[in-house]
Structure 1
Amino acid sequence: MSATLASPEPGWLGRALLAPGAAVRDLGEAIEHTLASVSGAVVVVVVLAVLAAVPMVARWRRRRLSAGARQITVLTPPEVDAKGALAFWAHLIGQLRPAWARVLWGQPHLGFEYTVTPEEGAAIRLWVPGAIPPGLIERAISSAWPGAHTDTDQPALPPLPIPVQGTRRVIAGGELRLGRREGLPLSTDHSGDLVRDLITAADDLSAGQATCVQILARPVTGRRVARATRGAASTGASAGIVVGLLREALNLLTPGTSTARPTQSGGVSQSRGSDRQAVMEYSAAARAAAAKARGGHWETVVRYGTSIPVSDDPDDANPIAQARAVARGRADALATVFGACTDHNYYRRRRRPFRLATLLRQRRLGRGDVLSVPELATIAHLPTDTGLPGLQRAGARALSPAPEIPVGGEHTKPLGMADTGTRRPVAVKISDARHHLHILGPTGVGKSTLLARTILDDAEAGRGVIVIDPKGDLVTDILSRLPSHMADRVVLFDADSAAPPPCVNPLDIDRIGRAGTDLAVDNLVTVFHRIFHQWWGPRTDDIMRASLLTLCAQPGTATLADLPRLLTEPAFRARVTRTTKDPVLRGFWDSYETLSDTGRAQLTGPLLNKLRAFLLRPFVRAAIAGGPSTVEFADILDNGGICLARLPKGSLGEETSRLVGSLLVARTWQAVTARARVPSADRPDAALVLDEAQNFLNLSTPIEDMLAEARGLRLSLLLAHQNLGQLSRELRDGISANARNKVIFAVSPDDARDLARHTDPWLSEHDLSHLDAFHAAARLLVDGRNARPFTLTTRPLDPPIPGRAREIAAAARARLTTSPAASAPGPVPDPQL
């Protein structure tokens, strides 16, 4: 029996290829069988579930896009580039998500808002959903409008004020939508400034009133643009299906009144002129629609509103009616401004009597109108008018720091935060801080805040720091914020304290060494000479120098209190001068003794009256002439000490404050110059901070030599003062050339003219003289090279710790009384006494 092989049954693909018609019929029958097996109730349930899920998904996507929304306030720069808005909106087209991401998560939109209130004036803000990465919009603003400042608030605030207790708000406004097909363009060559007109229309608001114009926009795809431009050449308003059917019905009812269509030969002779006009209009609209179709596009909705507060009294209805009328008039004035955009298209007003406040607050964007980038830039931009009153403006342009500027770290000094982009921290390296820091600006602009933060950072890092404060607030701020564990490192000079201060005797030779006697005397004489230069002559200089050298040559510890006794008491002078071996000094005293009492009084009077005024103050006598030194500045600088000298001029007087501070600077300089005997690698970094520095730079060493030597000895100076007029020509030139790190707060136009040499061409005179409070321009060194200037804001200090200043001061006094230096031997007594 022969075996017969059966052909295998072909699969669905084989059947479809062999008999496509039969495969389609089989598929239809299968679908029909499936639908027949499903009950009608199930179909209804599925349809209802889909209809219910669509709005739920829409709300979920809307909440997800709006979560973590922030609000960016833009401060207009002094000069606004009219093309900046084009660059801004064209740049952000890149935020268009891929198709699958738009389907799943949606496309985030932006809100460009103009708000005007009597309290804050006119403000321009951008609402940014949390789905957009932080810093992206801020950088786009800085790029499009150089010099603009941004301030980010999170979470975003409502565009109109929230009603307070006892009042309600009447809100009027609506939406602006395109009146013709959205493929037709608006006017983009308005001769004026639309934003200026908006702010002017909202001028003269009463207290509590507010207006807002909100432009919501998101980028769209080319397919959406193609749908918008399809048939856009029709110049009539958008006609829906119902309008088209009515037009056809009227044509059927009145066939004789139909207008002959233009033909290739020109159509009916009676309508030749009107047909030519229609063709020209159609051609112009087609060209305009084609031009609008080029480039990027945004889907937009414009909303506007006015808020008027009224009393929440139900019996008082008349004010509510009046407020509603005022609000409607204000809102209509805002909407009327957009009439300037009329061209082939125009904005049509749609009132929103209900839910307007909710729409404005939620920034909800449904289906909007398609605008090109030039059209959107026409209605959403920074105003170019420099004289617009009430507008929040940036005082100076904002510049981002160069990438090489450090953000902080172990071997840096913090300065503040960059005021552009992501507001990263900025700092100066310790090695570059050795080139010294010059801080300039009037009172109240943030100098003390910057100094206090730098001092606290030095203390935290264990670097030695000496602070001389002629006003007192800086030291108080530091004491109230120092950690408790640093109290044992603090040395405090406080002119307002009743407790005895530490003693820093400038004539303590046992501390400074015999080799430093000449430098100590030179510094003392120079300090007195420069502070009292109006009453100082060569004879006074000679007398003081000879007297100090004579006192320093004696055994024991001399003080400035011995100087009046040496000049006025013959017995004391005889005991001191008889052991003098220097022939020059012997000759001086021999000639001095030959003078009469009247002659000696005339010579020594100018010096003695200065000394007595100086020594009659208990604090000064104890701190400068109280015997052997109880504090060694070399230990403070080398071992991370914190010396705070609080010398308020209101307590000591201006000349005495300058004199004490200058003597402390002189003693610091003596300790620094002693570092020359130590290898360079073993010299720890330390800092000398001088607020109102011009009062204390009175040493015998020229300022340019002092700054140059201090860099090699690893002492960085922070020199702060208010204006260049406080500096002598010598100080100004020395600081300008040798203090190479510059931090400039708002200065006068005259100072800005001189300081602009350090910041041109990046920052001009106008920028330096229009900086805001706590806002500064910086020019820093990076690895010994000048980096380009940038702008920064100082960081506010942490809140003061209650009782911390008293705690630190008490610990410093207790440490002073138990210090071995406090019990050092005093002057060696004369054996003949």
Structure 2
Amino acid sequence: MNPEQGWLGRALLAPGTTLRDVTETVEQALGSVSGLGVVAAVLGVLAAVRSLAEWRRRRLSARARQITVLTPPEVDAKGALAFWAHLIGQLRPAWARVLWGQPHLGFEYTVTPEEGAAIRLWVPGAIPPGLIERAIASAWPGAHTDTLTPARPPLPAAAEGVRRIVAGGELRLGRREGLPLSTDHSGDLVRDLITAADDLGPGQAACVQILARPVTGRRVARATRAAASTGASAGVVVGLLREALNLLTLGTTTARPTRAGRVSEGRGSDRQSVMEYSAAARAAAAKARGAHWETVVRYATSIPVSDNPDDANPIAQARAVARGRADALATVFGACTDHNYYRRRRRLRLGWLIRQRRLGRGDVLSVPELATIAHLPTDTGLPGLQRAGARALSPAPEIPVGGEHTKPLGMADTGTRRPVAVKISDARHHLHILGPTGVGKSTLLARTILDDADAERGVIVIDPKGDLVTDVLSRLPSRMADRVVLFDADSSAPPPCVNPLDIDRIGRAGMDLAVDNLVTVFHRIFHQWWGPRTDDIMRASLLTLCAQPGTATLADLPRLLTEPAFRARVTRTTKDPVLRGFWDSYETLSDTSRAQLTGPLLNKLRAFLLRPFVRSAIAGGPSTVEFADILDNGGICLARLPKGSLGEETSRLVGSLLVARTWQAVTARARVPAADRPDAALVLDEAQNFLNLSTPIEDMLAEARGLRLSLLLAHQNLGQLSRELRDGISANARNKIVFAVSPDDARDLARHTHPWLSEHDLSHLDAFHAAARLLVDGRNARPFTLTTRPLDPPIPGRAREIAAAARARLTASTPHAPNPCHARERL
């Protein structure tokens, strides 16, 4: 027998001799060992290996979490390459893989009519928390993540009375795993997957699950050698056929190739085959470069079926629908065909495999190949996809987390979600808070007010809606009740009085400023009906009343203009020649002319003073509250002025007069050394309604900083501000907190956050989610995003308790002064 004929030739020519040789070899190997013992030993080893594998699987899958990825507005096509290349560092050393195993990840696309299209990552508990979230943020800037523990199954479970039909399969490489898939697909594979699962019926669900774990270079090298040695046609069956062919043709055909791309020069050499083998070898060598993952792709659709026996063929119908949907998902992966392709395989217990997320032995893919099938979609118009509203930016390290000399703002929405705050010294540069209703402005304002109250910093709050003051009152500690001054337009109890013409309180030096502020407030609120003669009449009348002994009020102004006897008694002692000339000319007018000149002023004043709350709070006699004491001694002044109770103009007028009185108290601090001026705050919700002082807004904000008054200016949109207010606040309120705004406002505000946050980010912030640009030691820090912290639950009865204590303290401290109008009568 010719020994060169090979083992197959010898077996065919002398099968009996060959079988006897094999039997003798086996008997010699077994020796004296019993056959049953060998079988038992083999089964024991297999059982131990299986038990170890099951233990490692349970250990790796314990405490698994699920990360939902919200796609950013713009997706970098190379982000998936960076993501999977970054995570290859999770490959454990050889000894750790032997003892504990190698954890794998699950990249899942799920589509349901209820939740739309979602992209989620299943992460075993063996991977440290936060690692995958940070990798996602690094690979796809602007993406948001929502982590859920424990992880949920990708497909919905069956409910009572409803069973679910699951159809699908597993995708495995059709050729040797060393040959690559296509990575230059012109479209977006994920878009095609989500579109294929679109238009699902109620209760239906579709899922594509990609399980992946990093592999070593040894596995890659074996796959590359196997792919390159015989090209695409290598295999055991092909080898057997080649042996038989050599036997029949007496060895005249071409020799077997021994290296990639090398074929003998025999007569049967095929040029086309040589080119194919060479191309396959080059592609395999290219795939071998870089990092690699072991992967398995599973796809499934789930259709609910009622257990009602009256339904005609519900299961057959559901199976047909599920199979059609599943085939549509699998067909999408045909776009990956190149030297290799995906072949569909049916799997028993498919629903259980997908739910358990088991990864046995998978196919080796390079990072570009894996990134082709597992990435975020780049299509911006994909319907139903869960997208991130705005990118999340972590605060700079110098942003304080809180402490004694800070104001808390909220929590960072990235990483460890640390607290963020602004220093008191930086808050003196004022806070501009912008956003529509319902986004979290009031929550942020209430937290800062409660913090100022707890730190015993003076705070004055003007609230034109009423909810902010109610929220604060219901959460203040009882020990602070003796520091509260409450103006409540809905209360039947008499309010405190803040008389803007009380010269005894503000001093003669402040009289001109008080009159200027009063006239300017009326002018700006009633500018449509206000002219130079009305301005002249009001200014002269107020200066005349303030020059008289006693305490003047705004209630005296109509009497001065309409009652000759009262006017004669007041003006006869006027010494100012300019005022004397005004009243002399006023007396020469006829009654009709006087009525025409004073009509615009008097109808506004009467509408203002006819409201009992306003008359008591603004024109009730001498002031019973001093704002300087509130600001300097840690007082809490809460002005609840709802427009629904007072009317819009009256609410604006009362709030503006309270702001004017606050400003007079603040300017008096100029006589106090800077080191002795305590920090205080003025909080204005709907601030554009109350900034009506004679002092320009830019000058007011600049002076307030030096006098240690921090203003919190909150409103809904930039269109509410006049050009003067907009420019002054933009330049001088240097701490910016922006909630979701309109695209027009985002275009203007993006100048403060560019290039970190774009117009799109500012207009797509979620509720209770804000972008902040703060000062740190007087310098601008880079912008970041935050979420406001919810308020503590209200304490039942606390608001009524504190309001009652404030009224009782006011009654006990109010002197029984004579009626100022009666005092005027005795002049």
Relative to the length of structure 1, the TM-score reads 0.89
Deviation at 1:27, TM superposition (A): 30
Counterparts of 1:782 and 1:621, CA distance in 2: 44
Counterparts of 1:213 and 1:33, CA distance in 2: 52
Query: Per the alignment, in what secondary structure is the counterpart of residue 397 of structure 1?
Result: coil
Deviation at 1:11, TM superposition (A): 50
Q: Describe the shift of the 1:283–1:671 C-alpha distance in structure 2 as closer, same or farther (beyond 3 A).
A: same
Deviation at 1:477, TM superposition (A): 2.7
Query: Per the alignment, in what secondary structure is the counterpart of residue 237 of structure 2?
Result: helix
Counterparts of 1:8 and 1:534, CA distance in 2: 116
Q: Describe the shift of the 1:39–1:226 C-alpha distance in structure 2 as closer, same or farther (beyond 3 A).
A: same
Answer yes or no: is 1:50 the counterpart of 2:53: no
> Conserved in 1, the CA contact under 8 Å of 2:231 and 2:260?
no
- Unpaired segments ≥5 residues, structure 1: 1-6
Q: Describe the shift of the 1:239–1:274 C-alpha distance in structure 2 as closer, same or farther (beyond 3 A).
A: closer
| Per-residue deviation, residues 116-163 of structure 1 (Å, max 9, x unmatched) | 112222111222222222222222222211222222223323212233
Q: Describe the shift of the 1:704–1:301 C-alpha distance in structure 2 as closer, same or farther (beyond 3 A).
A: same
Deviation at 1:269, TM superposition (A): 12
Deviation at 1:607, TM superposition (A): 0.8
Deviation at 1:177, TM superposition (A): 1.6
| Per-residue deviation, residues 510-543 of structure 1 (Å, max 9, x unmatched) | 3223322221111111100111111112221122
Deviation at 1:223, TM superposition (A): 2.0
Greater Cα offset, 719-728 or 30-39:
30-39
Deviation at 1:381, TM superposition (A): 0.8
Deviation at 1:195, TM superposition (A): 0.6
Q: Describe the shift of the 1:333–1:621 C-alpha distance in structure 2 as closer, same or farther (beyond 3 A).
A: same
Answer yes or no: is 1:60 the counterpart of 2:51: no
Answer yes or no: is 1:288 the counterpart of 2:283: yes
- Unpaired segments ≥5 residues, structure 2: none
Q: Describe the shift of the 1:235–1:402 C-alpha distance in structure 2 as closer, same or farther (beyond 3 A).
A: farther
Counterparts of 1:415 and 1:360, CA distance in 2: 43
| Per-residue deviation, residues 288-316 of structure 1 (Å, max 9, x unmatched) | 11111111111112121212222233564
Counterparts of 2:719 and 2:106, CA distance in 1: 48
> Conserved in 1, the CA contact under 8 Å of 2:116 and 2:385?
yes
Deviation at 1:328, TM superposition (A): 1.5
Q: Describe the shift of the 1:507–1:281 C-alpha distance in structure 2 as closer, same or farther (beyond 3 A).
A: same
Deviation at 1:743, TM superposition (A): 1.7
Counterparts of 1:169 and 1:132, CA distance in 2: 33
Counterparts of 1:743 and 1:677, CA distance in 2: 33
Q: Describe the shift of the 1:678–1:281 C-alpha distance in structure 2 as closer, same or farther (beyond 3 A).
A: same
Query: Per the alignment, in what secondary structure is the counterpart of residue 267 of structure 2?
Result: helix
Counterparts of 2:15 and 2:134, CA distance in 1: 59
Query: Per the alignment, in what secondary structure is the counterpart of residue 4 of structure 2?
Result: coil
Equivalences for 1:379-394 in 2 at 5 Å? 379-394=373-388
| Per-residue deviation, residues 728-780 of structure 1 (Å, max 9, x unmatched) | 11111111111111122233333233222222223333333333333332221
Deviation at 1:399, TM superposition (A): 2.8
Match of 1:237 among 232, 251, 271: 232
Equivalences for 1:431-510 in 2 at 5 Å? 431-510=425-504
Q: Describe the shift of the 1:103–1:464 C-alpha distance in structure 2 as closer, same or farther (beyond 3 A).
A: farther
Greater Cα offset, 227-236 or 334-343:
227-236
Q: Describe the shift of the 1:579–1:196 C-alpha distance in structure 2 as closer, same or farther (beyond 3 A).
A: same
> Conserved in 2, the CA contact under 8 Å of 1:266 and 1:272?
no
Greater Cα offset, 642-651 or 654-663:
642-651
Match of 2:817 among 818, 821, 824: 824
Counterparts of 1:53 and 1:269, CA distance in 2: 47
Q: Describe the shift of the 1:143–1:585 C-alpha distance in structure 2 as closer, same or farther (beyond 3 A).
A: same
Deviation at 1:85, TM superposition (A): 0.8
Deviation at 1:581, TM superposition (A): 3.5
| Per-residue deviation, residues 14-47 of structure 1 (Å, max 9, x unmatched) | 9999999999999999999999999999999987
Counterparts of 2:737 and 2:638, CA distance in 1: 23
Counterparts of 1:574 and 1:699, CA distance in 2: 31
> Conserved in 1, the CA contact under 8 Å of 2:178 and 2:223?
yes
Deviation at 1:346, TM superposition (A): 1.3
Deviation at 1:813, TM superposition (A): 2.9
> Conserved in 2, the CA contact under 8 Å of 1:556 and 1:826?
no
> Conserved in 2, the CA contact under 8 Å of 1:762 and 1:789?
yes
Greater Cα offset, 491-500 or 805-814:
805-814
Counterparts of 1:20 and 1:208, CA distance in 2: 63
> Conserved in 2, the CA contact under 8 Å of 1:180 and 1:235?
no
> Conserved in 1, the CA contact under 8 Å of 2:253 and 2:267?
no
Equivalenced residue count is 825
Deviation at 1:244, TM superposition (A): 5.7
Query: Per the alignment, in what secondary structure is the counterpart of residue 303 of structure 1?
Result: strand
Greater Cα offset, 652-661 or 52-61:
52-61
Counterparts of 2:3 and 2:367, CA distance in 1: 64
Counterparts of 1:826 and 1:494, CA distance in 2: 23
Greater Cα offset, 450-459 or 118-127:
450-459
| Per-residue deviation, residues 677-697 of structure 1 (Å, max 9, x unmatched) | 222222222211111111110
Answer yes or no: is 1:587 the counterpart of 2:581: yes
Query: Per the alignment, in what secondary structure is the counterpart of residue 817 of structure 1?
Result: helix
Answer yes or no: is 1:164 the counterpart of 2:170: no
Counterparts of 1:246 and 1:27, CA distance in 2: 22
Deviation at 1:274, TM superposition (A): 6.0
Counterparts of 2:401 and 2:3, CA distance in 1: 76
Tell me the residue number matched to 2:707: 713
Deviation at 1:572, TM superposition (A): 2.4
Greater Cα offset, 618-627 or 473-482:
473-482
Greater Cα offset, 523-532 or 177-186:
177-186
Counterparts of 1:28 and 1:246, CA distance in 2: 25
| Per-residue deviation, residues 697-724 of structure 1 (Å, max 9, x unmatched) | 0001110000001111111111112222
Q: Describe the shift of the 1:805–1:89 C-alpha distance in structure 2 as closer, same or farther (beyond 3 A).
A: same
Deviation at 1:237, TM superposition (A): 6.9
Counterparts of 2:495 and 2:535, CA distance in 1: 29
Query: Per the alignment, in what secondary structure is the counterpart of residue 314 of structure 1?
Result: coil
Deviation at 1:609, TM superposition (A): 0.4
> Conserved in 1, the CA contact under 8 Å of 2:485 and 2:806?
yes
Counterparts of 1:492 and 1:29, CA distance in 2: 106
Q: Describe the shift of the 1:601–1:349 C-alpha distance in structure 2 as closer, same or farther (beyond 3 A).
A: same
RMSD: 7.8
Match of 1:681 among 671, 675, 680: 675
| Per-residue deviation, residues 99-122 of structure 1 (Å, max 9, x unmatched) | 233233322222211111122221
Counterparts of 1:787 and 1:753, CA distance in 2: 21
Deviation at 1:499, TM superposition (A): 2.6
Greater Cα offset, 195-204 or 74-83:
74-83
Counterparts of 1:473 and 1:265, CA distance in 2: 78
Counterparts of 1:493 and 1:307, CA distance in 2: 61
Counterparts of 1:126 and 1:174, CA distance in 2: 20
Deviation at 1:337, TM superposition (A): 0.7
Deviation at 1:590, TM superposition (A): 3.0
Query: Per the alignment, in what secondary structure is the counterpart of residue 270 of structure 1?
Result: coil
Greater Cα offset, 629-638 or 8-17:
8-17
Deviation at 1:341, TM superposition (A): 0.9
Counterparts of 2:458 and 2:9, CA distance in 1: 90
Tell me the residue number matched to 1:765: 759
Greater Cα offset, 96-105 or 232-241:
232-241
| Per-residue deviation, residues 194-225 of structure 1 (Å, max 9, x unmatched) | 01110110111112211111112122222222
Counterparts of 1:271 and 1:531, CA distance in 2: 102
Counterparts of 2:354 and 2:415, CA distance in 1: 27
Q: Describe the shift of the 1:799–1:45 C-alpha distance in structure 2 as closer, same or farther (beyond 3 A).
A: farther
Counterparts of 2:10 and 2:333, CA distance in 1: 65
Counterparts of 1:267 and 1:766, CA distance in 2: 57
Deviation at 1:426, TM superposition (A): 2.4
| Per-residue deviation, residues 311-345 of structure 1 (Å, max 9, x unmatched) | 23356462222122211211111111111111111
Q: Describe the shift of the 1:484–1:12 C-alpha distance in structure 2 as closer, same or farther (beyond 3 A).
A: farther
Counterparts of 1:657 and 1:298, CA distance in 2: 67
Deviation at 1:192, TM superposition (A): 1.0
Relative to the length of structure 2, the TM-score reads 0.90
Counterparts of 2:17 and 2:455, CA distance in 1: 87
Greater Cα offset, 393-402 or 342-351:
393-402
> Conserved in 1, the CA contact under 8 Å of 2:255 and 2:264?
no
Query: Per the alignment, in what secondary structure is the counterpart of residue 622 of structure 2?
Result: coil
> Conserved in 1, the CA contact under 8 Å of 2:436 and 2:740?
yes
Q: Structure 1 vs Structure 2: percent identity of aligned residues?
A: 91
Deviation at 1:79, TM superposition (A): 1.7
Deviation at 1:442, TM superposition (A): 2.4
Query: Per the alignment, in what secondary structure is the counterpart of residue 830 of structure 1?
Result: helix
Q: Describe the shift of the 1:136–1:203 C-alpha distance in structure 2 as closer, same or farther (beyond 3 A).
A: same
Q: Describe the shift of the 1:162–1:618 C-alpha distance in structure 2 as closer, same or farther (beyond 3 A).
A: farther
